[in-house]
């Protein structure tokens, strides 16, 4: 069965490949230095934000499934990078918060992640960067509308 479908020009495929390549660059750095996995880093980034988040909220923010978040949290707890703190509002829930060591690692890795982002974006002109932001926003909104 032959097909004229060109996978390499299919937008979801292109976005997936780009995401994997970029995430992989950064993941090599924090993986080698701190033994972190990609999903663990994503959880740490959410936990580093100003307000405490439950695992369910982390799932919503990252679009990771419940099992992936659960495994990542367990790995981070085992490494001493996060704590599970009972919620003040609902004792059935736990907030995921960075430990002091977790904050130190976040503070060390985030500049590396930003440096990779800068290296990538330096390839674009200001106009292209603005256009990329606008395009990603539009595509994100379109995807949200399709979910509904």
**Packing angle between helix 11-34 and helix 100-121, nearest 10 degrees?**
140
The Cα–Cα gap between 104 and 79 comes to 13
Indicate the pairing of strand 53-54 with strand 82-86.
unpaired
Structural domains in the chain, sorted by start? 11-147 (1.10.10.10)
The Cα–Cα gap between 78 and 75 comes to 5
Alpha helices in 1-148 (DSSP H): 11-34, 38-47, 55-62, 66-79, 100-121, 126-147
Q: What is the mean pLDDT of each run of 10 residues along the chain (148 residues)?
A: 81 93 89 94 95 93 96 98 89 92 96 93 96 95 90
Q: What is the pLDDT of residue 1?
A: 53
6 Cβ neighbours under 8 A, 6+ residues apart: none
The Cα–Cα gap between 93 and 67 comes to 16
Q: What is the pLDDT of residue 58?
A: 96
85 Cβ neighbours under 8 A, 6+ residues apart: 52, 94, 95, 96, 97
Query: Tokens in use for 12?
Result: 């979801």
Q: What is the pLDDT of residue 132?
A: 96
129 Cβ neighbours under 8 A, 6+ residues apart: 121
């Amino acid at each position: 069965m032959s097909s004229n479908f060109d996978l390499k020009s299919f937008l979801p495929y292109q976005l997936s490949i780009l995401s994997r390549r970029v995430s992989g660059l950064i993941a090599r750095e924090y993986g080698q230095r701190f033994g972190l996995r990609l999903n663990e880093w994503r959880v740490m980034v959410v936990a580093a934000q100003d307000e405490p988040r439950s695992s369910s909220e982390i799932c919503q923010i990252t679009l990771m499934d419940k099992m992936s978040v659960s495994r990542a949290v367990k790995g981070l707890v085992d490494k001493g990078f996060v704590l599970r703190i009972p919620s003040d509002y609902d004792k059935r829930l736990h907030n995921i918060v960075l430990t002091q060591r977790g904050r130190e690692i976040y503070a060390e890795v985030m500049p590396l992640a930003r440096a990779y982002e800068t290296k990538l974006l330096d390839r674009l002109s200001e106009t292209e960067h603005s256009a990329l932001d606008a395009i990603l926003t539009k595509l994100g909104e379109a995807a949200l509308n399709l979910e509904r």
